[in-house]
Amino acid sequence: MLQNIIICLILGYLCGCLSTAYFIGKANNIDIRKYGSGNAGTTNAMRLLGIKAGILTFLGDALKAFIPILIITFVIFKNEPYVHLLALYTGLGVVIGHNFPFWLNFKGGKGIAATGGAILAFDWRIGLAAFVVFLLSVAITRYVSVGSLLISLLFPIGVLVFYPGDLHMLLISIIFTVLAFIRHRANIKRLMNGTENKIGQKVKIEQK
């Protein structure tokens, strides 16, 4: 089992290192990590380069978690009784790779789109609930960070509901939550100070 977990973590990490925002930024002649919030993710891409870039970034980051988890679940380890646990480890590897890509000096994104893709591939019921919660929270508060943090909190709750008694899967889902809160430290501070940017606010491309 340990060997399979390591395989899933490595596969996930390598997929996670494919930084969609970085590639889109380079296509627009900028290193997105040097502008705006410095985050190589959906929100920064949207604020700097527009909604099309934001959508492409979101889809790319979600799919790089969604696709490998499906491959693990239905191809590589389809006959393993603990395949759902392996799916979680794969998703965790993707989020770690997205947040800390080795080839970009470990400076990546915050992992929410990747987390969303991982949740959906892991269990569509939790994924659907996360999607609804994200849309409603962002629509009400206008803060993407609020929706992002709520998604991360919903994940272990969903595991508790649909996989009661599986402490291993619960622990891994909690790690997703912890990673999200760590990467959103600055956002949480700005939310508390009332200085967090709301959705729709544009950011000028000024080098950090």
Q: Which domain holds residue 174?
A: 2-193
Domain assignment present for residue 171? The answer is yes
| Domain count of the fold of the chain | 1
Domain assignment present for residue 203? The answer is no
Domain assignment present for residue 8? The answer is yes
**pTM to 2 decimals?**
0.91
Could you give the CA distance from residue 46 to residue 148 in angstroms, rounded to a whole number? 15
Could you give the CA distance from residue 123 to residue 184 in angstroms, rounded to a whole number? 25
The two tokens of residue 66 are 């969604």
Domain assignment present for residue 181? The answer is yes
Could you give the CA distance from residue 78 to residue 84 in angstroms, rounded to a whole number? 9
pLDDT tens track, the chain, 208 positions: 899 999 999 999 999 999 999 999 999 888 888 888 788 888 889 888 888 999 999 999 999 999 999 999 999 999 999 999 999 999 999 999 999 999 999 989 999 999 999 999 999 999 999 999 999 999 999 999 999 999 999 999 999 999 999 999 999 999 999 999 999 999 999 999 988 888 765 555 555 4
Domain assignment present for residue 204? The answer is no
